[in-house]
């Protein structure tokens, strides 16, 4: 069980406060028994405070002991594969055996932010297979440029793991082709993920890093001591977002997989999902999801409605797992 932290600025918190809460979440998650802390990459989004996951992970690594640290995700179309490989190999050398590099192909922000970051984003997406090939070669120390070997240094004693995040069969196909783990982002998708995961497993090509396919799924969860309390928290969050004229998911059914009803039109056409309920209800959903996708690797996204209740949701969820074992 892992945490996926978008580093939200809840209730008009400053960026500094949001980042302090990210550190606190990672520290508490480690104590509660979560095995992973991943953080995202977003650009020019006022409500989120994590634009450079490698920087935040370096900071959190120094303030935790053993929890796995990963990116969910580094948006590879924006960057040189060599620079990504160097950054995460440096992290893997600082925190041996703890670093996981998750990759994505989304822009991570609006069109102008994407163009300001790396120019023609659509052109970069079109060449993503070449970038993925270069990155995997760099992480396996077999990359050449104009027939001259180039090494991503430093070389860690324990190699980092490599994952592809996505919401459809395209990302699943890339993960399979390059022998990476696959993370299905259910909280961003209107699909249940079965088709994408089946495609990934069917087409998986073993690599130097990974011999068998590995699947994770990322879900949005809001967990409280009672169902009424969880639904109250969810409605509170929805009302706040509605007043801000932003999109936020509302869903009162804690076990079905139908998409949420959005409070306004989503510009990216994503149907966001959330599992709302008691620890027992949420774990029932997680078990059913794990059976469908044949995985026990889960990343949990929890937004709020405030930092205190966000921590409470994560704590209750892990306590609920302990009570069922």
Residue with tokens 């027939």: 147
**CA 237/CA 165 separation, integer angstroms:** 26
Cβ pair 209, 162 in contact under 8 A:
yes
Residue 241 confidence class, pLDDT cut points 50, 70, 90: confident
Radius of gyration, alpha carbons of the chain? 19
**CB-based contact 37:3 (threshold 8 Å):** yes
- Each residue's pLDDT tens digit, 268-297: 333 347 999 999 999 999 999 999 999 999
Residues 6+ apart with CB under 8 A from 200: 172, 173, 175, 176, 182, 213, 215
Q: Return the pLDDT at 242.
A: 74
Q: What is the mean pLDDT of the chain?
A: 90
Confidence of residue 321 (pLDDT cuts 50, 70, 90): confident
pLDDT for 324: 65
Domain residue extents for the chain: 217-325
Report the SS3 class of residue 253: coil
**pLDDT tens for each residue of 78-135:** 999 999 999 999 999 999 999 999 999 999 999 999 999 999 999 999 999 999 999 9
The string of pLDDT tens digits covering residues 133-159 is 999 999 999 999 999 999 999 999 999
The per-residue pLDDT for range 170-215, each reduced to its tens digit, is: 999 999 999 999 999 999 998 899 999 999 999 999 999 999 999 9
Q: Which of 323 and 173 is assigned the larger pLDDT?
A: 173
Cβ atoms < 10 Å from Cβ of 52: 14
The pLDDT value recorded for residue 243 is: 66
Q: How confident is the model at residue 325 (pLDDT cuts 50, 70, 90)?
A: low
């Amino acid at each position: 069980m892992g945490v996926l932290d978008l580093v939200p600025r809840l209730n008009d918190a400053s960026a500094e406060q949001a980042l302090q809460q990210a550190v606190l979440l990672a520290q508490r998650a480690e104590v509660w028994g979560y095995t992973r802390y991943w953080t995202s990459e977003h650009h020019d989004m006022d409500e989120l405070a994590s634009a450079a996951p490698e920087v935040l992970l370096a900071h959190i690594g120094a303030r935790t002991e053993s929890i796995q640290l990963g990116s969910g995700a580094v948006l590879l179309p924006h960057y040189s594969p060599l620079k990504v490989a160097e950054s995460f190999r440096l992290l893997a050398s600082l925190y041996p055996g703890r670093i996981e590099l998750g990759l994505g192909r989304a822009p991570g922000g609006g069109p102008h932010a994407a163009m300001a970051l790396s120019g023609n984003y659509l052109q970069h997406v079109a060449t993503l297979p070449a970038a993925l090939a270069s990155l995997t070669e760099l992480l396996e120390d077999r990359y050449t440029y104009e027939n001259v070997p180039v090494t991503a240094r430093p070389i860690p004693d324990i190699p980092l793991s490599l994952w592809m995040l996505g919401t459809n069969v395209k990302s699943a196909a890339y993960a399979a082709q390059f022998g990476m783990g696959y993370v299905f982002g259910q909280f961003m998708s209107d699909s249940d993920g079965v088709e994408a995961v089946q495609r990934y497993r069917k087409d998986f090509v073993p690599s130097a890093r990974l011999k068998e396919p590995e699947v994770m799924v990322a879900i949005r969860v809001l967990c409280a001591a009672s169902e009424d309390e969880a639904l109250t928290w969810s409605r509170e969050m929805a009302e706040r977002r509605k007043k801000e004229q932003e999109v936020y998911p509302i869903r009162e059914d804690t076990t079905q997989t139908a998409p949420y009803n959005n409070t306004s039109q989503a510009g990216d056409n994503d149907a966001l999902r959330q599992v709302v309920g008691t620890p027992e209800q949420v774990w029932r959903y997680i078990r059913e999801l794990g059976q469908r996708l044949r995985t026990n690797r889960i990343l949990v996204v929890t937004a709020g409605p405030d930092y205190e209740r966000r921590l409470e949701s994560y704590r209750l969820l892990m306590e609920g797992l302990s009570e069922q074992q």
